[in-house]
């Protein structure tokens, strides 16, 4: 159920960007905001991992699986963004 919330938030952000509802001042700082949020997210994930003693004790076993999952997650995320970007850009060229 949370995934639907995440998708809705992403779509809402995309709509704001598409309709130019973001001020120029915020738009110029989006990259910095994203970077700070990413660092905060990684920090919170680290805390969660550190709290769970089971994860820490089996970290060497989970490491390989985590690397494979991470590589595929990043790869398919980049591919998805590329495909969606190309689709949106091609629609703008038609107009």
pLDDT single digits (tens) 54-63: 877 777 777 7
High-pLDDT (> 70) share of the chain, %: 95
Residue-wise pLDDT tens digits, 39-50: 999 999 989 888
pTM to 2 decimals?
0.53
Domains of the chain by residue range = 58-95
- Virtual CA dihedral for 6, 10, 16, 22, nearest 10 degrees? 90
Q: How many Å is the maximal CA-CA distance in the chain?
A: 57
């Amino acid at each position: 159920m949370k995934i639907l919330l995440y998708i809705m938030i992403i779509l809402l952000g995309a709509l704001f960007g598409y309709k130019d509802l973001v001020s120029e001042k915020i738009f110029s700082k989006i990259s910095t905001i994203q970077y700070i949020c990413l660092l905060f997210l990684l920090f919170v994930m680290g805390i969660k991992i550190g709290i769970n003693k089971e994860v820490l004790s089996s970290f060497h076993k989970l490491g390989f699986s985590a690397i494979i999952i991470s590589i595929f997650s990043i790869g398919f995320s980049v591919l998805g963004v590329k495909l969606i970007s190309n689709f949106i850009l091609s629609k703008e060229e038609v107009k």
